[in-house]
Chain A
Amino acid sequence: MSGIVWALLGAAAAVILAGCGSAYGVGVAGQAASGVVTEDPSKFAKVLIMQLLPGTQGIYGLLVAFLTLSKIGILGGGAADISVAPGLLIFAACLPIGIVGLVSGMHQGRTSVAAIGIVAKKPDQFGKAMLFPAMVETYAILALLISILAVSGIQV
């Protein structure tokens, strides 16, 4: 496979894996949010924020994919002629946000479900409840940082 294929695979992995993590997380948190709103519609805004928290991994994956596509010239309309080594390096650079995005998105979704339970019973504890799923975000941000630094630093 040529380098451009590896680089594109990297961009695809970042979007697909992180997107799957977010889709799972937002989905499961959405189920819990629906359960609370069924009984108490006044909590809609609070549980919506909880539901959205696991959605960021998908955005991070998209960001890294954009950077990658820009790097290899696909976005500009003229794909660069990349050899296998830099292509593989770009692929590897995309993996952190892909893999961490998948795992953290799923776990952040589950943590959001638990936090929605707190909001359901004690809405005044919303601030504290939001901190629990937000902690999971840290690791997605770290992975995003490494992916951005790595993709930006590779010479093609």
Chain B
Amino acid sequence: MSDTKYAYAVARIRAMEVSLFSAATIEQLIACKSYAACLDFLREKGWGDSEGEKTAEAILEREEEKIWEVMRELSVDQKNFEVLFYQNWFHNLKAAIKKVCTGDNDTRNIYFEGTNMEPEQIERAIREKDFASLPEFMQEVAQEAVETMLHSADGQLCDCMIDQATLRAIMQAGKKSENQVIKAYAENTVAVANIKIAVRSQKTGKSKDFMERSMVECDSLNIQSLMMAALGGQDAICEYLTGNGYGEAAEALKQSPSAFERWCDNRMIQTMKPQKSNPFSVGPLVAYVLARENEIKTVRIILTCKQNDLADDAIRERVREMYV
């Protein structure tokens, strides 16, 4: 009965889910006549700060901050959410390696902030080659990537190594976790990333060797078969996906690249939807974080489309499925 320790947090999240954007709200946002009207609509819905900046980027950034402010207020062990930060941590690692190895003194902010691990800590570790001060799952790849950058200055290879390490770290966190939602998140993230790698490798004519350096084993896909399918062309990928429970991905892939990208995000939300009826465990909290991130991403897409005067139908094609 230890799962009841999340009773307060889950009930509070349930109350907050009421204010998540539904498909109908997204439709209202799309129906706004202009970019400025969209921003007004968001502010009416309580997005951003009443006092703060009124630009879209400031509003969206503030909403991202709000997610983690709420999670900290819930007095839940933040380690539960650590796996959600991995992609940002590894991005910061990539940025730090490139900054240090190229001697770039650009003062622009190249790091993700608010990720429970200060970017300066990563940058200092890289600069001083103090890899032991990094989390265990980062140490080996950080050292290898630094050596690669210093010897060959091959940024793409460096990215490739770190991206694979990211997926591996997520997969390991999923396997170690006793929580079914974290397991599902890890499996889904890695499987979708493998499919993306296969699709993009096929489109850009990458070799099997490249895919081997990028993909990570997961339970729902056989990456050797996926690589062979990628070498055989898009139809072979679609055939493989259809035969392995990813028929919707194959359909989306045939439809358009934006439909495929949308499927990748929708798949995660669909995986999280059962948490709407789970009154205990940390699952609903993780699902809420992902739902909020998905909501912010969708709003960002709509705003970008509005800014570029895209037709409503073109926007709808890119809109992600909502959690509520």
A in complex with B: yes
A24 CA / B14 CA spacing, docked (Å): 22
Please, what's the 1-or-0 string for B1-45, where 1 marks a CB less than 8 Å from any CB in chain A? 100100111111111111000000000000000000000000000
Q: A34-B8, A113-B280 are in contact. List 19 more A-B contacts (CB 8 A).
A: A29-B7, A31-B7, A31-B8, A33-B11, A35-B8, A35-B11, A36-B11, A36-B14, A36-B15, A39-B15, A39-B16, A43-B15, A109-B4, A110-B1, A110-B4, A114-B279, A117-B11, A117-B14, A121-B17
A32 contacts B by Cβ under 8 Å? yes
Q: From residue A51, how far is it (CB to closest CB) to chain B in Å?
A: 11
Please, what's the 1-or-0 string for B213-254, where 1 marks a CB less than 8 Å from any CB in chain A? 000000000000000000000000000000000000000000
Question: A116 contacts B18, CB within 8 Å?
Answer: no
A113 with B279, Cβ < 8 A, contacts A38-B12, A39-B12 known: yes
> What are 16 A-B interface contacts by the 8 Å CB criterion?
A29-B7, A31-B8, A32-B7, A32-B279, A33-B11, A35-B7, A35-B14, A36-B11, A39-B12, A39-B15, A113-B11, A113-B279, A117-B10, A120-B17, A121-B14, A121-B17
Question: B4 contacts A116, CB within 8 Å?
Answer: no
Interface size on B, residues (CB 8 A): 16
Interface size on A, residues (CB 8 A): 21
Contact for B8 among A32, A43, A114, A121, CB less than 8 A: A32
* In the complex, number of A-B residue pairs with CB atoms less than 8 Å apart: 63
Chain B positions within 8 Å of A, measured between CB atoms, are: 1, 4, 7-18, 279-280
Question: B1 contacts A35, CB within 8 Å?
Answer: no
Question: A106 contacts B10, CB within 8 Å?
Answer: no
A145 CA / B45 CA spacing, docked (Å): 53
A124 contacts B by Cβ under 8 Å? no
Inside 8 A of A39's CB, which chain B residues have their CB? 12, 15-16
Question: A113 contacts B14, CB within 8 Å?
Answer: no
A116 CA / B17 CA spacing, docked (Å): 14
Cβ < 8 Å to B, chain A residues 28-68? 28-29, 31-36, 38-40, 43
Inside 8 A of A40's CB, which chain B residues have their CB? 15
Q: From residue A89, how far is it (CB to closest CB) to chain B in Å?
A: 33
A33 CA / B7 CA spacing, docked (Å): 9
Q: Which residue of B lies closest to A43 (CB)?
A: B15
Q: Which residue of A lies closest to B70 (CB)?
A: A39
Q: Which residue of B lies closest to A28 (CB)?
A: B4
B-side interface mostly: helix
A39 CA / B73 CA spacing, docked (Å): 12
A100 CA / B10 CA spacing, docked (Å): 28
The 6 A-B residue pairs with the shortest CB-CB distance in the complex, in nearest-first order: A35-B11, A35-B12, A39-B15, A32-B11, A120-B14, A114-B279
A107 CA / B307 CA spacing, docked (Å): 53
Inside 8 A of A43's CB, which chain B residues have their CB? 15
Question: A31 contacts B15, CB within 8 Å?
Answer: no
Question: B1 contacts A106, CB within 8 Å?
Answer: yes
Q: Which residue of B lies closest to A110 (CB)?
A: B4
A6 CA / B194 CA spacing, docked (Å): 68
A59 CA / B1 CA spacing, docked (Å): 23
Q: From residue B14, how far is it (CB to closest CB) to chain A in Å?
A: 4
A40 CA / B12 CA spacing, docked (Å): 9
Question: A120 contacts B8, CB within 8 Å?
Answer: no
A28 CA / B7 CA spacing, docked (Å): 7
Contact for B11 among A106, A109, A110, A120, CB less than 8 A: A120
A120 CA / B11 CA spacing, docked (Å): 7
Question: A116 contacts B280, CB within 8 Å?
Answer: no
Inside 8 A of B14's CB, which chain A residues have their CB? 35-36, 116-117, 120-121
A121 with B18, Cβ < 8 A, contacts A28-B7, A32-B8, A35-B7 known: yes
Q: Which residue of A lies closest to B17 (CB)?
A: A121
Inside 8 A of A113's CB, which chain B residues have their CB? 4, 7, 10-11, 279-280
Q: Which residue of B lies closest to A107 (CB)?
A: B1
A132 CA / B52 CA spacing, docked (Å): 45
Inside 8 A of A114's CB, which chain B residues have their CB? 279
A35 with B10, Cβ < 8 A, contacts A40-B15, A110-B280 known: yes
Contact for A120 among B1, B15, B280, CB less than 8 A: B15
Cβ < 8 Å to B, chain A residues 113-129? 113-114, 116-117, 120-121
